[in-house]
Chains A and B, each alone.
Chain A
């Protein structure tokens, strides 16, 4: 970047000082989020420990996962304090991954059905 090569200290200092004031949060915030992440991890561990099954298990796993991911991205990665231009540039493209999931799920079902039709349920597929 230009400012790194310019020797004028005013130019070097200005953006850094600005981001510093931009990203100043009390340490307590990070400790609270850290604690929440611990609690959520314990919760998701208990999903396995108590052997919840079926839709209850899957929905609990997804809920705890999304809460943890949201806390990490919003607070630890400071996304909550960024401008919308950056937030949308980073958070919208992963929707394509969800589309890919929606494409591959029926594809996987189809593969399984053909395996059952041609090889039966025997192991070794």
Chain B
């Protein structure tokens, strides 16, 4: 089961890659991967594995926020404000429930779609298309943050504070600001990194082997996919926030 790899580290890595193709699949593959030397994740680079592990830790953070919200909402004796009305918009005299939130959801899903295509073009080495799709993703992300800022402003004007609000349970404000605030921060960080990586792709850094300004290491097109993992995760978290906070 354990392969004896005696070669120094650089060769060992590419060897691990070629070994992944000879590895058994399914449950046997799962057991032998975790029981083997050097690398449990056979055809995943350290960058991708670490992004997945970071996202796992972020899952626990947002999981804890949503559990805190669940506990607050279940334990209050005061009625919870009806999100359908709180987040409704009045357009031309018609009260449309959750309209802004629905638009925000579609914007974020669209940005996830453009990101997925950027990753695809990245692996085809079509660097202009990759960079343009990433910039489009970043613009959609910025639009999302803008709409969230509008939503926050509207609610603050209506008197929502972390300790009180005009409609019911006081915990509504603190849950809302903490959960959407943390999510919005994640989107903002994603937008910044999307612009940074898009610039590198556009300039051809991953073709010429230009070294990064911060790590002084050469990047690879895989960075686009790792960036994509983060971005899709932000979309994923929104799916849960949308379901539990806005719809429930």
Tell me, yes or no, whether A112 is within 8 Å of chain B by CB: yes
Contact pattern, B 225-248, Cβ under 8 Å of A = 1, otherwise 0: 100110011011001101100111
Please tell me the size bucket of the interface on B. 35 or more
CB distance from B151 to the nearest CB of A (A): 16
Inter-chain CA distance A111–B233, complex, in Å, is 33
Would A72 and B97 be within 8 Å (CB), given that A44-B242, A85-B30 are in contact?
A: no
SS class, residues of chain B in contact with chain A = helix
Contact call A72/B113, Cβ cutoff below 8 A: no
Contact call B217/A38, Cβ cutoff below 8 A: no
Contact call B71/A107, Cβ cutoff below 8 A: yes
Tell me, yes or no, whether B49 is within 8 Å of chain A by CB: yes
Contact call B123/A19, Cβ cutoff below 8 A: yes
CB distance from B226 to the nearest CB of A (A): 11
Work out how many contacts link A and B, with CB atoms closer than 8 A: 213
Chain B residues with CB under 8 Å of A30's CB are 113, 116-117, 120
Q: A-B pairs with the 9 shortest C-beta distances?
A: A108-B74, A85-B33, A34-B113, A111-B75, A97-B63, A65-B243, A84-B30, A108-B75, A20-B123
Contact call B74/A112, Cβ cutoff below 8 A: yes
Segment among B13-21, B154-162, B177-185, B191-199 that sits at the interface with chain A:
B13-21
Would A93 and B56 be within 8 Å (CB), given that A58-B248, A101-B70 are in contact?
A: yes
Contact call A23/B225, Cβ cutoff below 8 A: yes
Pick the contact of B17 from A4, A15, A25 — CB < 8 Å? A15
Tell me, yes or no, whether B41 is within 8 Å of chain A by CB: yes
Contact call A61/B117, Cβ cutoff below 8 A: no
Tell me, yes or no, whether B146 is within 8 Å of chain A by CB: no
Tell me, yes or no, whether A2 is within 8 Å of chain B by CB: yes
Chain B residues with CB under 8 Å of A8's CB are 10
Contact pattern, B 117-151, Cβ under 8 Å of A = 1, otherwise 0: 10110011000000000000000000000000000
Chain A residues with CB under 8 Å of B210's CB are none
